[in-house]
Structure 1
Amino acid sequence: MRLVAGLGARFAGLLFVFLGVTLAIYLLVFALPGDPIRALGGDRPLPANVVETLREKYNLNAPLWKQYMDYVLGLFRGDFGLDFRGRSVSDQMAARWPVTIALALTAWAIELVVGIFLGVLAALKAGTAIDKAVLWSTIIFGAVPVFVLAVTAQLVLGARLKLFPVAGIEAGWPMSYMLPALVLAVFGLAAISRLMRDSVIDNLRADYVRTARVKGLSRQRIVGVHVMRNSMVPAVTYLATDLGSLLGSTIVVEGVFNLPGVGSLLFDAIRAHEGTTIVGVSVALILIFLITSLVVDALHYLLDPRIR
């Protein structure tokens, strides 16, 4: 019951966050100077009657607050609206989500496995050359801008060494997704490995570890069962929230590797001044991030007895 009550309160708080953030995005996109309908004509202005018809169709003549309220009501029905060419934003996202989700989950899995392994290894070898190598390698790779790392990886591992496809998804999963996923995962690896290292070291010094040793438990059982479970809390927190961040971080990587995902859809919408598509993709990413935050709270309750 405490878990349900806590999650209910958390959900109510996230609802207010959702409304506030979506309002800010909507205002930033549609309250800016300029007429998106007139921009459709480019260098050849549209006739006045066509402009007025399109403005009426897309509810642009209504006050901005009413436009936002109508948009939010549509969201609760699962309707993300139409772009200025009459195409459903929901359908466009649905066609591209599989690519973005496959890319993000591949990167997330690399972060999970490699990051936790490096963190535990560095903790068990604290102060040695292995510990320092893990620390400095994660710092160096994490400091490189994502577009620099993406282009370098594409040139070296793709074009020259031919270990992975250079671009596109023709080779399917996992080959087409592995190289861009590695680029995305590098930044999360640095954080997860350091979180796990510090957490494991702290737990190895805890009283319950000394008690387990006195009782004669093996080192493998102490580390593999007791220490790992308590040390996973900060890593799980980061991994859960980072899944939403990975989905939003694919814009640059999808552009470099020519992947037809939601990130490239958002990039194309920004260039074409498609406000409804920009808001729709942003709102979808916000929803994913908020849902993962709610899942984090539940995982905290399940993993850490002290929270219960």
Structure 2
Amino acid sequence: MRPALALLQRILGFVIVFFGVTFVIYFAVFSLPGDPIRALAGDRAIPQGVIDALHAQYRLDQPLWQQYSAYIGGLFHGDFGIDFRGRPVGEQMLARWPVTIALALTAWGIEVVLGVAIGVISALRKGTVIDKSLLALTVLASCIPVFVLGAVAQLVFGVSLGWLPVAGVSDGWPISYILPAAVIAVFGLAAVSRLVRSSVIESLGSDYVRTARAKGLGEPRVVGVHVMRNSLIPASTFLATDLGYLLGGTVIIEGIFNLPGVGNLLFSAIRSHEGATVVGVSTALILIFLITTIVVDALHAVLDPRSRLG
């Protein structure tokens, strides 16, 4: 009964977060001053009858709460809305998800490999120059604004050295994705490496490690099996949560590197005042993050039995 109650409370919390966040986004987008229909026309004159018809079509003549209710009702039927040019937002996202998913998974893989490696090396060389240098470099890199780091990476590795393309996906995976993925991954490396480092240091001083060493087990087996199995639990929880952030945090990078993903769609929609697209993409990203959080909770319970006992 207790686990079922905890699950019910968690689901209720997610429902409240979903409706609260989506309403705030919807309100922020559609309560802005100005008429989006007239803004799309620019300097061209539009007959008032056409404006009234478009307002009725997109429910812009209704109170905001009615517009939001109609939007939520459409979500239950898989409808993320239609932009002001008559294109379904869901179809636009469907065509762009492969690029965003490939970019996020590539960045996530870089975080996993480099973050774990840096954390383990720093823990095994605790207090040395290597330890301090690795931690300083990861923290320093994560402090640089993403647009600055992206522009510098383009200039150095794309323009000056010519190693990687600076924009687009014409070269396919992984060539077109390595540079933007590395830029995104930099900001998670510091957290992953620090989590792994602290967990490994704690495990190295535990009783079961001393017992394993007393039995004559080699250091590679002690570290690779006994230490890593317990040390990766905090890092795995963070990495699973960070995957949701990566899927939603590619907006700026996709804009800088001109990648035709969902982030670039949101970036373009904000610039062109396509409110329906902004709300639809934001809703999809919120759903992904909430689902990822549920999966992380389940994963943590599987990896760490103490959480189930708690």
TM-score w.r.t. length of structure 2: 0.95
Structure 1 equivalent of residue 266 of structure 2: 266
Aligned to 1:52: 52
Moved more, 232-241 or 289-298: 232-241
Letter in 2 for 1:108: W
- Could you say which residue in structure 2 is the equivalent of 1:18? 18
- Structure-1 separation of matches of 2:227 and 2:10: 29
Deviation string 1:256-295 (CA, Å, 9 cap, x unpaired) is 2111111111111111111000001111111111111111
More moved, 173-182 vs 61-70: 61-70
Range with bigger deviation, 207-216 or 89-98: 207-216
Counterpart contact for 1:241–1:293, Cα < 8 Å: yes
SS of residue in 2 equivalent to 1:306: helix
Give yes or no for contact 1:165–1:176 (8 Å, CA) kept in 2. Answer: yes
Which residue of the partner structure matches residue 102 of structure 2? Answer: 102
C-alpha deviations, 1:143-174, integer Å up to 9, x for none?
11111111111111111111111211111000
RMSD over aligned CA atoms reads 1.6
Q: Is the CA contact 1:99–1:259 (under 8 Å) kept in the aligned structure 2?
A: yes
In structure 2, C-alpha distance between the alignment counterparts of 1:240 and 1:182, rounded to whole Å: 18
**1:7 and 1:298 in contact (8 A); partners too:** no
Alpha-carbon distance in 2 for matches of 1:38, 1:288: 33
Whole-Å separation in 2 of the counterparts to 1:131 and 1:9: 42
Task: Answer yes or no: is the 8 Å Cα contact 1:3–1:301 preserved in 2.
Answer: no
Counterpart contact for 1:123–1:131, Cα < 8 Å: yes
Q: Counterparts of 1:19-38 in structure 2 under 5 Å? A: 19-38=19-38
Look up the match of 1:175. Answer: 175
Amino acid across the alignment from 2:21: V
2:230 aligns with: 230
Q: What is the one-letter code of the residue matched to 2:75? A: L
Q: How many residues align?
A: 308
Secondary structure at the counterpart of residue 83 of structure 1: coil
Corresponding residue of 1:200: 200
Which residue does 2:127 correspond to in 1?
127
5+ residue gaps in structure 1? none
The sequence identity of aligned pairs, in percent, is: 64
- SS of equivalent to 1:165: coil
SS at match of 2:270: helix
Does the alignment pair 1:63 with 2:101? no
In structure 2, C-alpha distance between the alignment counterparts of 1:160 and 1:103, rounded to whole Å: 23
TM score, norm. by length of structure 1: 0.95
Alpha-carbon shift at residue 227 of structure 1 (Å)? 2.0
- Structure 2 match to 1:80: 80
Letter of the aligned partner of 2:29 in structure 1? Answer: V
Query: What is the match of residue 255 of structure 1?
Result: 255
Counterpart of 2:154 in structure 1 is 154
Post-superposition offset of 1:45: 3.3
Tell me the secondary structure at the aligned position of residue 46 of structure 1: coil
Alpha-carbon shift at residue 3 of structure 1 (Å): 6.0
Q: Is the alpha carbon distance of 1:6 and 1:215 closer, same or farther for their aligned partners in structure 2, counting shifts above 3 Å?
A: farther
The amino acid of 1:105's aligned partner reads: L
C-alpha distance in 1 between matches for 2:217 and 2:73: 58
Task: Give the letter for the 1:57 counterpart.
Answer: Q
Q: Post-superposition shift, 1:79?
A: 0.5
Cα deviation digits, residues 101-146 of structure 1 (max 9, x gap): 1111100000011101110111111111211121111011111111
User: 1:199 offset after TM fit, Å?
Assistant: 1.4
Give the whole-Å Cα distance in 2 for the aligned partners of 1:8 and 1:94: 31
Looking at structure 2, the residues matched to 144 and 19 of structure 1 have their Cα atoms a distance apart, in angstroms, of 34
What are the ranges of 5 or more consecutive residues in structure 2 without an aligned counterpart? none
- 1:67 aligned partner, one-letter code: Q
Q: Distance in 2 between matches of 1:204 and 1:76?
A: 50
Q: 1:2 to 1:117 in 2, by over 3 A?
A: farther
